[in-house]
Amino acid sequence: MNLNQTSLPSTSYTLPAVRTNRVIRNTYALLSMTLLFAAATAGGAVMLNLPHPGLIITLIGYFGLLFLTNKLRDSGWGILSVFALTGFMGYTLGPILSVYLNMANGGLIVMQAFAATAAIFLGLSAYALTSRKDFSFMGGFLMAGMIVVFLASLGAIFFQIPALSLAVSGAVVLLMAGMILYETSNIIHGGETNYVMATVSLFVSLFNLFTALLQLLGVLNSDE
């Protein structure tokens, strides 16, 4: 009788843990593949010297593919949509990389941004996974911060204000670090059970973190 009573809690805790571990495993596997695919499309754009599609096409392509991915999240087509989205983002990154690679020490700047992005992501993800802390309380703050940063970035683009652009990049680095903690915690605690959308969330955070670090390092390099 005692054995039966103790086995019930074990089952109730084991099943959610198995589901969570499956989501984590699938998320990081898909994230790795999409990062490689985006890197390939970015590299192709650099080699072919493709022009940047522009702000309007970038926004339409990004939000359109994001909407499509969300609609197809529960089907096999959702995975193809994720690759379409991340590939498109990789293509938009290519012309940006070309600009930095043409700068003095441009290759070093790109490598430093890549290394810093990887270190931040691995460190924060490891902390969230090992500590199992719940960072859901950061959701409202991060959402408000993203709205403010998005509007400020548009202002920096249209009004050509370098100082504002630099401030936005610094804010993006902090917000994306918070997003990585929040999103990883969300997966661990069952807030996100769809690995397709979990992958998209982490990919977008890494993309924004990398581009923000590129701009910051580019400015620091020009001041030397």
Residue 5 forms part of a structural domain: no
Condensed to tens digits (0 to 9), the pLDDT of residues 25-68 reads 999 999 999 999 999 999 999 999 999 998 899 999 999 999 99
Residue 189 forms part of a structural domain: yes
Residue 8 forms part of a structural domain: no
Whether 82 contacts 34, CB under 8 Å: yes
> Could you give the count of Cα atoms lying within 13 Å of 111 in the half-sphere of its Cβ?
4
Residue 108 forms part of a structural domain: yes
Question: What is the structure's pLDDT at 14?
Answer: 56
Weakest-pLDDT range from 36-50, 138-152, 169-183: 138-152
Q: What is the pTM of this model?
A: 0.87
Helices (H) and strands (E) in the chain, counts: 7, 0
Residue 217 forms part of a structural domain: yes
Residue 59 forms part of a structural domain: yes
Rounded percentage of the chain residues whose pLDDT exceeds 70 = 92
Residue 2 forms part of a structural domain: no
> Could you give the count of Cα atoms lying within 13 Å of 159 in the half-sphere of its Cβ?
11
Pick the residue with more confidence: 19 or 15?
A: 19
- What is the residue range of 105's domain? 14-223
CA–centroid distance for 59 within its chain: 16
Whether 109 contacts 218, CB under 8 Å: yes
Task: Compute and round to an integer the Cα radius of gyration of the chain.
Answer: 20
- The length of the chain in residues reads 224
The count of domains in the chain is 1
Whether 96 contacts 41, CB under 8 Å: no
Residue 213 forms part of a structural domain: yes
CA distance linking residue 110 with residue 101, whole number of Å: 7
